[in-house]
Amino acid sequence: MSSPTPIAFWFDFASPYAYIANEWIDALAARHGRTVQRHAMLLGVIFPHADLKPLVNYPIKGEYARRDILRTARFERLPFAFPEAFPVSTHQAARVFWWLADTQGQEAAAAWVRTATRAYFTRGENISEPGVLRALAAEAGLDGAAAEAAWSEPRWKDRLRQANDAALQAGVFGAPFFVIDGEAFWGNDRKPQMDRWLAEGAF
Amino acid sequence: MSSPTPIAFWFDFASPYAYIANEWIDALAARHGRTVQRHAMLLGVIFPHADLKPLVNYPIKGEYARRDILRTARFERLPFAFPEAFPVSTHQAARVFWWLADTQGQEAAAAWVRTATRAYFTRGENISEPGVLRALAAEAGLDGAAAEAAWSEPRWKDRLRQANDAALQAGVFGAPFFVIDGEAFWGNDRKPQMDRWLAEGAF
């Protein structure tokens, strides 16, 4: 018997709702005998294709979103503090992710996601700054020089470009975005639907 | 002891997610000893203020939304069929709502919401057409001539305009939109947060 396909999880390191989802997705998958395949991408690349912009840039809705993000983190009983610099560019953190995913595997890459998103969303560390990334790489036990090379080498720039293209192919227009056996679920708030889908199959 | 304030529920007759929420909001409120105060408004008036447009008009996200709406209705175990004419203008249905709310009370108005949204979202009846509205008014046991007068008289046009202004004042940018004791909740998927808020108070 083949093992069930992993849950695909598309995210941007600067998405607060993706940070929240990143904290529950592995447990949800494990409850249903699944694993998680993470895909780092850049919402800044995706949004124009979908005629969208960062949530907090919308009038009225943006104000609501700031409040809803804080409340949703409390609802999930997760630590959260809005970073002063928000949103920030995340291509460097994302390239480190793909370097780890492709050379050391999903588990190492997932650990990096946790390290970087927790630093950003609980301690406000600006993950677009090289000095911060270097310190976080050390905190994550990575080879600092290799991590730094990963965020500037053409190979990993290309890898991230491929991931953005794949995201568009997969119909991604925001984060967190999940695909379970071909079915797409967008948003932290689709957890209950994903849970039933995994338990009972398509409904 | 004064009774707790009603849950404010803002909606547009052509919002599928608002149709879904309309089916569970009274039960949710009742479980927590609350009532519901409905407010019909026009998303077509609201959206430009929030730099938004109808969900299905967005590339990529719109495709997802059509699928998500169907799945969300199944998740809530509600009948749902996408109307061929979608979205449609709802100012007439909304004026009938305000006529009923102001002259016969919230219960009569809520019954009208159920009649019109079920006709639109389960039988595809185009609620922007006067003939359809006349038939639905009859189905709802309303005085047909009075209902028809309501959707063309200046008094109810003004009343709907006031409601749209009040929606903007309340920070509404989409539907369904709820306010519980000053706290705003947007979206059918905020039900679990609303449930906890009502049970335990602010979190």
Report the distance separating Cα B153 and Cα B102, nearest Å. 14
- Angle at alpha carbon of residue B158, lines to B152 and B160, rounded to 5°: 85
Q: Which residues of chain B are within 8 Å of residue A192 when distances are taken between CB atoms?
A: 75, 192
CA A21 to chain B, closest CA, distance in angstroms equals 15
DSSP string for residues in B72-90: HHHHTT------SS-S---
What is the chain B residue with the closest CA to A61? B173
Mean per-residue pLDDT over chain B, rounded: 97
Residue B119 has pLDDT above 80, yes or no: yes
* pLDDT at residue A68, as a whole number: 98
Minimal Cα distance from A52: which residue of B?
Answer: B58
Q: Supply the pLDDT for residue B3.
A: 78
Nearest CA in chain B to A63: B171
Q: pLDDT over 90 for what percent of chain B?
A: 97
What is the Cα gyration radius of chain A? Answer: 16
Q: What is the Cα–Cα distance from A177 to A2, expressed in whole angstroms? A: 25
Whether B171 has its CB under 8 Å from any CB of chain A: the answer is: yes
Alpha-carbon span B48 to B54, nearest angstrom: 10
Does position A1 have pLDDT exceeding 60, yes or no? no
Do A171 and B60 count as a contact with CB atoms less than 8 A apart?
A: yes
How does pLDDT run across A9-34, given as a tens digit for each residue? 999 999 999 999 999 999 999 999 99
CB atoms A51 and B58 under 8 Å:
yes
Q: Residues A42-85: pLDDT tens digits?
A: 999 999 999 999 999 999 999 999 999 999 999 999 999 999 99
- Would the CB atoms of B64 and A184 count as touching at under 8 Å? yes
Q: Tens digit of pLDDT for each residue in A132-185? A: 999 999 999 999 899 999 999 999 999 999 999 999 999 999 999 999 999 999
pLDDT at position A3, please?
78
Query: Quick check: B170 pLDDT over 60?
Result: yes
Residues B45-63: tens digit of each pLDDT: 999 999 999 999 999 999 9
A120 contact partners, CB below 8 Å, separation of at least 6? A13, A14, A19, A83, A88, A126, A127
The pLDDT tens digits for B153-168 are: 999 999 999 999 999 9
Q: What are phi and psi of A91, to 5 degrees?
A: -65, -35
User: Residue B1: is its pLDDT beyond 70?
Assistant: no
Element (H, E) at B193: helix B191-200
User: With bands split at pLDDT 50, 70 and 90, how would you rate the model's confidence at B96?
Assistant: very high
- DSSP 8-state secondary structure symbol assigned to residue A129: S
Range B42-79 burial, b when 16+ CB lie within 10 A, else e: bbbbbbeebebebbbebebbbebbeebbebbbebeebe
Residue from the list A49, A59, A64 with its beta carbon closest to the beta carbon of B60: A49
Interface test with B, best of A46, A71, A80 (most B CBs within 10 A): A71
Number of neighbouring beta carbons within 10 Å of residue B198:
18
Per-residue buried b or exposed e for A100-135, using 16+ beta carbons within 10 Å of the residue's own CB: bbeeeeeebbbebbebbbbbbbeeebebbeeebbee
What ipTM does this complex have? 0.96
pLDDT score at B2: 66
Is A61–B189 a contact, with Cβ atoms under 8 angstroms apart?
Answer: no
Name the token pair of B137.
């008014």
Residues of chain B with pLDDT > 70: what percent?
99
Q: Do B173 and A60 touch (CB under 8 A)?
A: yes
Tell if the CB–CB gap between B61 and A203 is shorter than 8 Å: no
Q: Is 70 exceeded by the pLDDT of residue B25?
A: yes
- Answer yes or no: are the C-beta atoms of B170 and B8 closer than 8 Å: yes
